[in-house]
Amino acid sequence: MSTPTKNKTNKISNDSVDFAECKFPIQIRQAEDGEYYLEGWIYTTHMDRAREDGAENSMFSKECMQQIASAINEGGAGIDNLGARRTVSIMHDWIIQREPDLEPIGMAVPPVEVRQTEDGHWGVYGKTHLNKKHPEFEDTKYRIEHGYYPGFSIEFNEGESQLINIKGRIVKFIKSLKEFLGYGIVNARRIANPMATIESFGYRMVEEALQKDEVKIMAEEEVKIEETVPEQPIEEEVPKGEEQPVEEEKVEEETEAEKEEETETRTAKVDSDELFAQLRQEMKKEIRMICIRLNIVVFIFFVKKLY
C-alpha cells in the first residue's frame, strides 16, 4: 500500500490513507474550567464492515491497538510530516480535502490505554479535548450531543494482514499497521454496527481461528510435498544429420545366475514403490485425524462456553 505524500501544492493524496470506524459511542463532558472533553473507545478489535481483498469483513489485532496507543502517547507527526498522531479531524476533512494544514477539532489527551472490552475484545480508550476556537466547534458539539457524530474513525496505513475463517465468514485480519496518522469524529452512517446482524464472538475465537488456519496450511503443504513426482531424466536428442556409431551386435547367452539377479532387481523396485504408496496413504490419514481432533477440541470449547 502506498504512503501519503505531499505534492508541490502542499496537498495530500486521499487514496493512500485507510479509515476504520469504532463501534462504541463517545461521551461529551464539560469540565469545571469550562473546557469540553470526549471520552470513550478510539478503536477496538471488533469486526468492521469494510469489504476488501475478497473478505466480507475486516478486523484489527491486539498488537494494532498497542501500536495506536503508543503512537498517541509518543505524539509527533506521521510519515513525511503529514498528520499528527494526537490530532482529531471532522470526518477526516484534512485527508478528504487534501489539506494537511487544516485546523483539528480536537486533540487526544495522553496517556490513552489499551483495555479489554466486556465481551473479550481489546481497544484503545482515552480522552479527547475539543478545540473551542475551531470555526465549527458549536456545530460539532451539537452533533455529538444529539448523536449525529457518535464515534471515532482512525486514519492509518495498513501493514501485514491475513484472511481467516470465523464462523463461516472470510475476514481480513490486520496484524499490524505501517503508520497511524490520527483519528476523526464521524457521522452515524459510518458508525453503523454490523455486529447487530452478525453473531458476536470474543477475541479468543479469532486467535483459535488463526491457529486452525496455520495447521491447515501446514497440512496442505505436507501433502503437496508427498505427492510431488520426481523428475525424470531428460534424454539427449541426437542432432539431425549425425549418426551414432553402430556397435557390432554381441550375442551372448544369459546364464541362470544373471536371470535370477534381474528378477530380484525388478521385485525390489516393485516393493519400494508399494512401500512409498503405503507411506503416503498413512501420512494423509494422520493429517485428517489431526484436523478432526482440532475440530473436536473447538466444539468442546464452545459447548463448555454455552453451559
Confidence of residue 208 (pLDDT cuts 50, 70, 90): confident
pTM of the prediction? 0.61
Q: What is the predicted pLDDT for the residue at 149?
A: 93
CB burial of residue 187 (10 Å; 0-12, 13-18, 19+) = middle
If you average pLDDT over residues 189-208, what whole number do you get?
Answer: 59
Cell 503437496 locates to 224
Cell digits of residue 232: 525424470
H-helix or E-strand containing 299?
helix 256-306
Q: What is the predicted pLDDT for the residue at 307?
A: 62
pLDDT at position 80 over 70: no
pLDDT at position 106 over 70: yes
129: closest CA among 149, 110, 108? 108
Confidence of residue 44 (pLDDT cuts 50, 70, 90): very high
The better pLDDT of the pair 270, 191 is held by: 191
Say which residues have a Cβ less than 8 Å from residue 283's Cβ, sequence separation at least 6.
222, 223, 226
Distances (CA, A) of 86 to 23, 26, 172, 175: 20, 17, 27, 22
Say which residues have a Cβ less than 8 Å from residue 36's Cβ, sequence separation at least 6.
28, 29, 30, 129, 130, 132, 141
Confidence of residue 100 (pLDDT cuts 50, 70, 90): confident
- Tell me the pLDDT tens digit for each residue of 247-262: 444 445 555 656 566 6
Phi-psi category of residue 241: left, alpha or beta, with phi > 0 → left and psi -120 to 50 → alpha: left
pLDDT at position 242 over 60: no
203-226 vs 256-306: helix crossing angle, rounded to 10? 170
13: closest CA among 71, 57, 79? 79
Confidence of residue 159 (pLDDT cuts 50, 70, 90): very high
Q: What backbone phi and psi angles, to 5 degrees, belong to 110?
A: -75, 155
Separation CA 35–CA 174 (nearest Å): 36
- Per the CB < 8 A criterion, the answer to whether 14 and 96 are in contact is yes
Separation CA 212–CA 223 (nearest Å): 17
Count Cβ atoms below 10 Å from residue 263 Cβ, excluding itself: 10
Q: What is the predicted pLDDT for the residue at 297?
A: 73
If you average pLDDT over residues 3-17, what whole number do you get?
Answer: 44
Least confident of 31-35, 53-57, 78-82, 275-279: 78-82
Cell digits of residue 224: 503437496
Q: What is the predicted pLDDT for the residue at 244?
A: 53
Q: What is the predicted pLDDT for the residue at 93?
A: 93
Q: Report the percentage of the chain scoring pLDDT > 90.
A: 37
Q: What is the predicted pLDDT for the residue at 165?
A: 86
pLDDT at position 180 over 90: yes
Q: Report the percentage of the chain scoring pLDDT > 70.
A: 64
DSSP for 163-230 reads EEEETTEEEEEE--EEEEEEEEEE-HHHH--GGGTS----HHHHHHHHHHHHHHHHHHHHHHHHTPPP
- Per the CB < 8 A criterion, the answer to whether 164 and 213 are in contact is yes
Mean pLDDT estimate for the chain:
75
Separation CA 234–CA 232 (nearest Å): 6
Q: What is the predicted pLDDT for the residue at 256?
A: 61
